[in-house]
Amino acid sequence: MSDGHRVEAVSAVLPLSETQGRKKEEYVVIGLGRFGTSVAVTLADYDYNVLAIDQDIDRVQALSIVLPNIMQLDATNIDAMRQAGVDAFDAGIVCIGNDFESNILATVLLRKLGVQRVVAKARTRTQRDILLQVGADEVVLPEHEAGVRLARRLAAGHVIDYLEVSKDVGVVELMAPPSFWGRTLAETDLRQRYGLNAMAVRRDEELIVIPSGTFEIEKNDVLVVLGKLEDAERLTK
């Protein structure tokens, strides 16, 4: 990234968002590759105030259609960041994927500017450790996490998806085993026998959230449960 002080705004920063009398968190997203763009657009879709930043003016102009609050500037320049009002944001997400030095500098500057929560993207565990040491509150490894999820899904053929919540515990989406067909949730004894909590059941296009114990499971139902992956794998054994 260059050392220039030039700041080019495609649109002005939105006013503070208020929801039911309480101020919503405001996010600044730095680096608008596929990952950063997905984060910024999704947050904006949830009506959060998002300032998106990237060094590439062509990318900024292209994304201005879907991100109304977007700027082209050097995120490693503290004066440019302060001029853009970054110090007023509650949380910052650093998603610079192809320049780790800039990733580190942007993370450090967010912390120096007083941003309360800083989340950074890393490609390797070593990068994660470095980013945590320089001030990131949280570091995500999208490629690593996607690979782990795919491997787990392939290793357990009936598992459709897995989202890790903490070590060894996650949300598991899996096909209801034949032994469950025609039985109620209470009759399956999911919690006592398998240590799993049923959060939802997906049936065709319908999602039944927090199904009751009398809910009867049918063939092709998809169970969404909270618990250990190894316990979910026992359902088909």
Domain parsing of the chain, residue ranges? 8-140, 146-236
Q: How confident is the model at residue 153 (pLDDT cuts 50, 70, 90)?
A: low
Mean pLDDT over residues 124-149, rounded?
Answer: 88
Q: How confident is the model at residue 234 (pLDDT cuts 50, 70, 90)?
A: confident
Contacting residues for 45 by C-beta, under 8 A, at least 6 apart? none
The pLDDT value given to residue 230: 82
Q: How confident is the model at residue 21 (pLDDT cuts 50, 70, 90)?
A: very low
Is the pLDDT at 44 greater than 70, yes or no? Answer: yes
pLDDT tens, residue by residue, 45-88: 999 999 999 999 999 999 999 998 999 999 999 999 999 999 99
* HEC profile of 87-127: HHCCEEEECCCCCHHHHHHHHHHHHHCCCCEEEEECCCHHH
Is the pLDDT at 156 greater than 50, yes or no? Answer: yes
CA distance 189 to 82: 57
What's at 36, amino acid-wise? Answer: G
Please identify, in words, the CATH class of the domain defined by 146-236: alpha beta
Mean pLDDT over residues 129-150, rounded?
Answer: 87
220 SS3 class: coil
Fold: same for 8-140 and 146-236: no
**What fold is seen in the domain 8-140?**
Rossmann fold (3.40.50)
**Average pLDDT of every residue of the chain:** 85
What's at 229, amino acid-wise? Answer: L
The pLDDT value given to residue 223: 93
The pLDDT value given to residue 232: 84
Can you give the pTM of this predicted structure? 0.65
The pLDDT value given to residue 209: 93
Is the pLDDT at 159 greater than 90, yes or no? Answer: no
